Amino acid sequence: NAGVTQTPKFRILKIGQSMTLQCTQDMNHNYMYWYRQDPGMGLKLIYYSVGAGITDKGEVPNGYNVSRSTTEDFPLRLELAAPSQTSVYFCASSKTTGTDTQYFGPGTRLTVL
């Protein structure tokens, strides 16, 4: 099992550009999450999904969109990138909720200039 994979690892965007961060898990997990981690801070939840076709907003959803057409994939779309979106983005998955372990991807470092 590869676990949770994210692409790309690094990206530099210009203000106003758009991009999609890819996330794939091969563990047949129902729950998937997108977090952002700003320097010196903990993770903040952007969006999450409890299964294919179902997504919902987390704590900081503005400026982002997600979709979940399959169990495996949970892409995060940035529209009109802004410097405030410079961050490290983590995708995670878990089989259920509660105390179930969340498995994290390696992260994507995004810089918006």
| Interface residue list for another protein (CB under 8 A) | 31, 33, 40-45, 48, 50, 56-59, 88, 90, 92, 97-99, 101-102, 104, 106-107
CB of residue 99 to another protein, shortest distance in Å = 5
Residue 17 or 61: the one with the smaller Cβ distance to another protein is 61
Please compute, for residue 63, the number of CA atoms within 13 A of its CA located in the half-sphere on the CB side: 16
Give the number of residues written for the chain.
Answer: 113
Burial classification of residue 33, based on how many CB atoms lie within 10 Å of its CB (0-12 exposed, 13-18 middle, 19 or more buried): buried
CB of residue 61 to another protein, shortest distance in Å = 10
CB of residue 11 to another protein, shortest distance in Å = 15
Residue 85 or 108: the one with the smaller Cβ distance to another protein is 108
Residue 78 or 92: the one with the smaller Cβ distance to another protein is 92
CB of residue 94 to another protein, shortest distance in Å = 10
Angle at 18 between CA 12 and CA 24, to 5 degrees: 80
Residue 6 or 85: the one with the smaller Cβ distance to another protein is 6
Is beta strand 4-7 parallel, antiparallel or unpaired with respect to 31-37?
unpaired
The H or E element containing residue 81 is none
